[in-house]
Amino acid sequence: MTSPTAKVDAFRALHVPGRPLLMPNPWDAGSARLLAALGFPALATTSSGFAATLGRLDGTVTRDEALAHAAAIVAAVDVPVSADLENGFAADPGAVADTVRGAVAAGLAGCSIEDFSGDPQSPIYDLGFAAERVAAAAVAAHRDTGLVLTARAENFLHGNPDLADTIARLQAYQEAGADVLYAPGLRDLDDIRRVIAAVDRPVNVLAFPGLAGVAGLAAAGVARISVGGAFSAATIGALNRAARELLDAGTFGFLELAAEGRVQAAAVFGPR
């Protein structure tokens, strides 16, 4: 098995503007092993996908649950793993740092911290306080193995599509010590170019309907592309379609896809 330090170094080196790291988001050990076997060089957990395995919605997983889940994904594969740690499961910068120290202990190569507060009345932390949180996370991340810290500006996912404010936030998070910057929800290629031109760190983009494909994002200078909970949601959608076919049509067309899955499982889940 590759050492944690080597995984961190490998993960950091994969962030090259113009040659984006395609980083999918498994939701359990099996999906992680499948994605690694397909050739993806790094993986990231998905908060919504993991919550779905527990029969919950995104935002309802605890810090201990998320860290234990991340450790299980790390143990399942030999590629670097980054964790979606939501808002650090706390508002207080010191508590966010504790979460990041837990990520280091879990053997992760990276983690992300967002500026979404969870408060419907004030969903995004004040910029100064948000930067303090990133700074505390960066200090914790950069000890020992030097965990790759991604700072997320959540405006576009929470009703505030203000590009200027988003850029100001990403710049502040860069100054606070973030290694990678991420504003999920950006859909316009010109907006993405403006973000990349305004910062000096690799930029992650979330796959979104209507967004330019990998080639277009690469040309814009994107360094990493993730899918969030999309792969997990796609499996739920496939399960729902198969179940509706059985219930409503009484047919077994889904068995063709099931046969494909069995072949893939046999190829991936054998002795390691």
In this predicted structure, the answer to whether residue 272 has a pLDDT above a threshold of 80 is no
pLDDT tens track for 218-266: 999 999 999 999 999 999 999 999 999 999 999 999 999 999 999 999 9
Average of pLDDT values for 127-146?
Answer: 95
Supply the pLDDT for residue 187. Answer: 94
Q: Rounded CA gap, 181 and 120, in Å?
A: 24
Query: How many C-beta neighbours within 10 Å does residue 18 have?
Result: 12
Q: What is the gyration radius of the CA atoms in the chain, in angstroms?
A: 19
The answer to whether the CB of 104 falls within 8 A of the CB of 140 is yes
Supply the pLDDT for residue 270. Answer: 84
pTM (2 decimals)? 0.97
Query: How many C-beta neighbours within 10 Å does residue 126 have?
Result: 11
Q: Rounded CA gap, 94 and 137, in Å?
A: 8
Supply the pLDDT for residue 1. Answer: 78
pLDDT tens track for 1-40: 799 999 999 999 999 999 999 999 999 999 999 999 999 9
Average of pLDDT values for 99-113?
Answer: 98
